[in-house]
C-alpha cells in the first residue's frame, strides 16, 4: 500500500485534520497508532459537499486501520474527540 502524498500526520489535541483530497474513486486505508488518551478517532468521508462517518467501522479507540470507500473527487478527514494527552500518528494509503 502506498501512502498518499500529504496524507500523514500526528494528532495531539481534540481536533479534525484538514480535508485530504482524493481524486480517484476507490478503496482507501486509514491507519492510526499511538496514544489515544481515551479518545475516539472518527474517519469521515465527503463527496465534496458533506462529511459523514465512514460506516460503523470508521471509528477507532485504539491503534488499528479502517477501510473506506471514497467517491470520485471525494475527501477524507479524521476527527479526534474526548482524548486526554493524545499522540496519534495517522496515514492514508491506497
pTM of the predicted structure, to 2 decimals: 0.93
Range of the domain at 71: 3-93
pLDDT value at position 57? 84
Q: What is the pLDDT of residues 5-32, one digit of tens each?
A: 999 999 999 999 999 999 899 999 999 9
pLDDT value at position 71? 93
What residues contact 57, with CB distance under 8 A and at least 6 apart?
Answer: 66, 67
pLDDT value at position 7? 96
pLDDT value at position 86? 98
The rounded distance, in Å, linking the Cα atoms of 32 and 30 is 7
- How many separate domains does the chain show? 1
Which domain CATH number covers 59? 2.60.120.380
Amino acid at each position: 500500500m502506498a501512502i498518499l502524498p500529504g496524507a500523514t500526520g500526528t494528532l495531539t489535541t481534540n481536533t479534525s485534520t484538514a480535508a485530504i483530497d482524493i481524486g480517484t474513486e476507490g478503496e482507501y486505508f486509514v491507519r492510526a497508532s499511538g496514544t489515544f488518551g481515551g479518545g475516539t478517532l472518527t474517519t469521515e468521508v465527503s463527496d465534496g459537499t458533506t462529511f459523514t462517518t465512514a460506516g460503523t467501522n470508521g471509528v477507532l479507540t485504539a491503534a488499528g486501520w479502517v477501510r473506506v470507500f471514497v467517491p470520485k473527487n471525494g475527501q477524507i478527514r479524521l476527527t479526534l474527540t474526548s482524548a486526554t494527552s493524545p499522540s496519534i500518528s495517522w496515514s492514508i494509503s491506497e
